[in-house]
């Protein structure tokens, strides 16, 4: 589950970078209000080369009651990222994934080999263009913030995900929350961005696995 959750977090967090006028306007079957909002989100994010974020991830039952909760932070540049959550630090360079587990002092090394239907960082540029419907649900006010909610629904009813609900800040046009609904499951995952920072450049060394930073860890090569 951790792998899928990680891919979803990175992909949807990056989603604001990829909504473009041409792609959305060309899909006349889409909800025009949803397309307009996503275009505005894309305009906000399109020049962002990288970002860092602090987040909370919750597993919830169908009523929205929290079953488990974790916090973490992520640093992203293109398809490369570093994610820290709990006792785990994960590095991905688009080809290889290093997963360092502090609790057992072990680093597993594996090929970056997502499933065909996984929404991964490199696929985030294309996954929504075909096979998804955009639906504007409405606006929800919470405190001083008004959220514009949009559902992304796969047209293929056999996909693992039944829908992804995005919450866009009406004022800033930032995606700050999303909920992933599993098909045929009574559980869902909610991701909330607690702090988001756009970065003009991400130092390469921050994204690279460095064995020297994990002294005493056992390396397990699964490739």
Could you read off the pLDDT of 12-55 as tens digits, one per residue? 555 554 454 445 544 556 788 988 888 787 777 667 788 888 98
pLDDT tens track for 152-176: 888 888 877 888 898 999 998 888 8
Conformation bin of residue 10: beta by default, left when phi > 0, alpha when psi is -120 to 50: alpha
| Two structure tokens written together for 41 | 């989100």
pLDDT at 146: 96
Give the per-residue pLDDT at 99.
94
User: What is the arithmetic mean of pLDDT over 64-91?
Assistant: 87
How confident is the model over 86-102, as pLDDT tens digits? Answer: 899 999 998 999 999 99
Percent of the chain at pLDDT > 70 equals 78
pLDDT at 9 over 70: no
Q: Any idea what the CATH number is for the domain that residue 214 is in?
A: 2.50.20.10
3-state secondary structure the chain: CHHHHHHHHHHHHHHHHCCCHHHHHCCCCCCHHHHHHHHHHHHHHCCCCEEEEEEEEEEEECCCCEEEEEEEEEEEECCEEEEEECCEEEEECCCEEEEEECCCCEEEEEECCCCCCCCCCCCCCCCCCCCEEEEEEEEEEECCEEEEEEEEEECCCCCCEEEEEEEEECCCCCEEEEEEEECCCCEEEEEEEEEEEEECCCCHHHHCCCHHHCCCCEEEECC
What per-residue confidence (pLDDT) applies to 48?
A: 75
CA distance 195 to 175: 12
Number of domains in the chain: 1
pLDDT at 196 exceeding the cut of 60: yes
The boundaries of the domain holding residue 79 are 2-221
pLDDT tens sequence across 111-150: 987 766 565 555 554 455 567 788 999 999 998 999 999 9
> Global pTM?
0.75
Q: Is the dihedral of CA 5, 8, 12, 14 positive or negative?
A: positive
pLDDT at 23: 53
């Amino acid at each position: 589950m951790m792998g899928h959750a990680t891919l979803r977090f990175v992909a949807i967090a990056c989603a604001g970078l990829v909504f473009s006028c041409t792609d959305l306007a060309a899909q006349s079957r889409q909800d025009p209000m949803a397309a307009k909002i996503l275009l505005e989100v894309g305009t906000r994010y399109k020049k962002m080369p990288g970002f860092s974020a602090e987040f909370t991830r919750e597993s919830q039952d169908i009523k929205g009651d929290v079953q488990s909760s974790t916090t973490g932070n992520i640093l992203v540049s293109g398809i490369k990222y570093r994610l820290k959550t709990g006792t785990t630090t994960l590095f991905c360079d688009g080809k290889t994934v290093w997963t360092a587990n502090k609790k057992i002092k072990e680093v597993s090394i594996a090929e970056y080999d997502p499933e065909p239907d996984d929404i991964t960082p490199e696929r985030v540029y294309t996954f929504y263009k075909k096979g998804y419907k955009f639906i504007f649900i409405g606006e929800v006010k919470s405190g001083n913030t008004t959220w514009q909610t949009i559902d992304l629904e796969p047209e293929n009813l056999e996909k693992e995900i039944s829908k992804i609900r995005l919450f866009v800040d009406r004022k800033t046009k930032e995606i700050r929350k999303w909920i992933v609904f599993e098909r045929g499951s009574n559980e869902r995952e909610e991701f909330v961005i607690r702090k988001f920072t756009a970065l003009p450049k991400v130092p390469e060394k921050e994204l690279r696995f460095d064995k020297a930073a994990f002294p005493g860890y056992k390396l397990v090569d699964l490739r």
